[in-house]
């Protein structure tokens, strides 16, 4: 049982380049999320998808776009990477509903030079 | 403005002793609280939770206490083990419209010395 799978694990981009972070879950969860983790800042929500076909902005959405491709997959796109987007990105999923814990992937470490 | 605060960035404890990790929140609408544990190079994993209708929840060595009047919760680990060394995140959900999406604190790094 893989849970939440993120690809790639590491990526280095130059300023202005674009890329898509992939995320897939095999737990039949309705909701999916993208967080970023920066030193001393905890986990900040970028975008989330409450269910297939819907997406909403979180706390720090600027510079990002998302696609809920189907129930399993939720991708995060950086159209024009900036050094401020250097971070560790985590995808998560949950069954939704009150108190459902999030299940996280192992993260993508992105460096923008 | 931080709605969930973990004011201690780090905590060092001797093996076998109690670890107490603290968390404060400001939004009185939060009604469900969770703790996550994170090892380096891995994603956070769910550890334990508590609903606002309770003031204590226990799971093995882990106990979470909730003081609603003080808007404070704590995670107790007894006895602490070196394998407990990790970053612990407090999270809260509820809030306006009953949002189920958790808001995370900045984390506390626990080091348990053998």
For residue B96, the model assigns a pLDDT of 56
CB contact residues (below 8 A), chain A span 60-89, against chain B: none
CB B72 within 8 A of CB B52: no
3-state secondary structure of B84: helix
Q: What is the pLDDT of residues A34-68, one digit of tens each?
A: 999 998 888 999 999 988 889 999 999 999 999 99
Contact B100 A98 (CB under 8 A): yes
Residue of A nearest to B1 (CA): A59
CB B108 within 8 A of CB B8: yes
Whole-number Å distance between alpha carbons of A91 and A108: 9
Q: What's the mean per-residue pLDDT of chain A?
A: 94
Element (H, E) at B56: strand B56-59
* Whether residue A2 has pLDDT greater than 80: no
B81 to each of A83, B59, B84, B107, how far by Cα in Å? 38, 15, 5, 19
* Whether residue A25 has pLDDT greater than 90: yes
- φ, ψ at A85 (rounded to 5°): -95, 5
Residue with tokens 């983790």: A37
Distance from A82 to chain B by nearest Cα, in Å?
Answer: 23
Contact B51 A99 (CB under 8 A): yes
Among the partner residues B9, B44, B101, nearest to A45 by beta-carbon distance: B101
| CB neighbour class for A78 (10 Å; exposed up to 12, middle 13-18, buried from 19) | buried
B63 forms beta bridges with B58, B76
Share of chain A above pLDDT 90, in %: 85
Torsion angle of the four alpha carbons A12, A65, A61, A50, in this order, in degrees rounded to the nearest 10? -120
Residues of chain B found within 8 Å of residue A47, distances taken between Cβ atoms: none
Q: What is the pLDDT of residues B37-66, one digit of tens each?
A: 999 999 999 999 999 999 999 999 999 999
For residue A97, the model assigns a pLDDT of 66
- Give the residue ranges of chain B where pLDDT is below 50: none
Candidates B60, B67, B83, B65; CA nearest to B75 is B65
């Amino acid at each position: 049982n893989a849970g939440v799978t993120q690809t790639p694990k590491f990526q280095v981009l130059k300023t202005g380049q674009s890329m898509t972070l992939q995320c897939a879950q095999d737990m039949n969860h309705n909701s999916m999320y993208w967080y970023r983790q920066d030193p001393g800042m905890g986990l900040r929500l970028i975008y989330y998808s409450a269910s297939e076909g819907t997406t909403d902005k979180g706390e720090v959405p600027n510079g990002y776009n998302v696609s809920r491709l189907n129930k399993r997959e939720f991708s995060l796109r950086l159209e024009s990477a900036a050094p401020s987007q250097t971070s560790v990105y985590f995808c998560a999923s949950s069954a939704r509903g009150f108190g459902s814990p999030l299940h996280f992937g192992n993260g993508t470490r992105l460096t923008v030079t | 403005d931080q709605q969930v605060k973990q004011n201690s960035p780090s905590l060092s404890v001797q093996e076998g002793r109690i670890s107490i990790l603290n968390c404060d929140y400001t939004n009185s609408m939060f009604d469900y609280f969770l703790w996550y544990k994170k090892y380096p190079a891995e994603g956070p994993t769910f550890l334990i939770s508590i609903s606002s209708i309770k003031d204590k929840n226990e799971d093995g060595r882990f106990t979470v206490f909730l003081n609603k009047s003080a808007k404070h919760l704590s995670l107790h680990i007894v006895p602490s083990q070196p394998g407990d060394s990790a970053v612990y995140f407090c999270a809260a959900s509820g809030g306006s419209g009953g949002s189920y999406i958790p808001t995370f604190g900045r984390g506390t790094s626990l080091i348990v010395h053998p």
